[in-house]
Amino acid sequence: MKIEERLFSAEEVAERLGMSKYTITEWLKAGRLRGVKIGKYWRVKESDLQAFIDNPPPLQRQAPAAKDSPSERPERSERSKRSR
């Protein structure tokens, strides 16, 4: 006996989670939310969605790009120093 599991579209997942379809698609691409791509469409198994809801992975925030400190900047040539 084969049991079939319901598949949700990215749009249906977005509705259930109160998120945008874009965010869900990005999470699927990044592997934060498990899903399969069928053709050009993403699908999420009901069990994977429930697992995500029960135990969501932590958000991974990117740190802002650090500006060069004066000690890390390359030295200006003597000529450019004189022109100032």
Tell me what the pLDDT averaged over the chain comes to: 83
CB 36 within 8 A of CB 69: no
Structure tokens given for 49: 């969605």
- Report the amino acid identity of residue 5: E
Residue-range domains of the chain with CATH: 7-54 (1.10.10)
Handedness of CA 22, 24, 26, 28 (dihedral sign): negative
Question: DSSP assignment, residue 33?
Answer: S
pTM over cut 0.95:
no
Is residue 79 pLDDT above 70, yes or no?
no
Is residue 19 pLDDT above 80, yes or no?
yes
Confidence tier at 54 by pLDDT (50, 70, 90) = very high
